[in-house]
Amino acid sequence: MLIGQGNTSVIYKGTYCGEECAIKTVPIAATQLSNENEFLNQLQHPFIIKLLASGQSSTDIIYIYELLDYDALTLLNASKFGLNEDIVRIIGFPVCCALKYIHSRGIAHRDVKPANILLSRDNVKLADWGFAAYTDQPFNDKKGSPIYMAPEIYSQSTYHGPPADIWALGVTLYQLKTNTYPFGDKADDIDELKNEIFTVTPFLSLSSSSSSLTIDLRETITSLLTKDPSLRPSASNALYLPFFKM
């Protein structure tokens, strides 16, 4: 049964060693874009999707993952005006913990967004490691999903991965709570999107929609969306922001 589709990949529900699993197939022609097993084989964390096995057919690379129920975008789409803050915290806190773990091991995810956060009754897991990369050198390739990409990815020839992941977490929290984007949804008009990302400060003027967020969540999102990457909190510091600190 088909359970998901990405730009190049297809994800089916299947069985592996008698257990239900998710089977992701990526055409070999697209695999220089995708090296998920290189990273997942070295990451073991309760909030990171488990890769059970990988292999290759004549046309595709095949990844076998533990199966979760749905992704956070699907959950969001089922709620017209966004998720309540307890649910946003239940999703956001584990993702921030997963980022702290990978950043301390010199890896950036580079595609944090609701569609790449998988959920089941008792689990939240960061998935889709196709853009992950080592952080020993600054990046000079502009990877990610445009709406979630940090200003420095657009404005600088090189950038560091961990602060860009933190920015994407900020966009993600905003989206999960409001079911809108902090810098608009003009993914097909990059100049307009860039302009918003460079100039807009969310919550600067408190509209009725943003006043429905608690001060804790507003302060936390504002901090994650600090434009200057050198002033943005690290994942370990972000865990002390008011929305996460419990």
Residues at the interface with Mg ion (CB under 5 A)? 6, 116, 128
* Residue whose CB is less far from ligand ATP, 87 or 115: 115
| 127 contributes a contact to ligand ATP by CB under 6 A | yes
Neighbouring residues of 25: CB distance < 8 A, sequence distance ≥ 6: 9, 10, 11, 12, 57, 60, 61, 62, 63
| 68 contributes a contact to ligand ATP by CB under 6 A | yes
Catalytic-role residue among 60, 111, 128, 165: 111
Tokens, residue 78: 């089922």
- Give the whole-angstrom CA distance, residue 174 versus residue 108: 21
| 119 contributes a contact to ligand ATP by CB under 6 A | no
Q: 118 with 70: CB under 8 angstroms?
A: yes
| 3 contributes a contact to ligand ATP by CB under 6 A | yes
* Residue whose CB is less far from ligand ATP, 110 or 177: 110
Q: Which of residues 19-38 bind ligand ATP (CB under 6 A)?
A: 22, 24
Cβ burial, residue 61 (10 Å; 0-12/13-18/19+) = buried
In 87-219, which ranges are E strands? Answer: 107-108, 117-120, 123-126, 133-134
| 116 contributes a contact to ligand ATP by CB under 6 A | yes
| 130 contributes a contact to ligand ATP by CB under 6 A | yes
The 8-class DSSP code of residue 139 comes to B
Footprint of ligand ATP (CB under 6 A): 3-4, 6-9, 11, 22, 24, 49, 65, 67-68, 71, 111, 115-116, 118, 127-128, 130
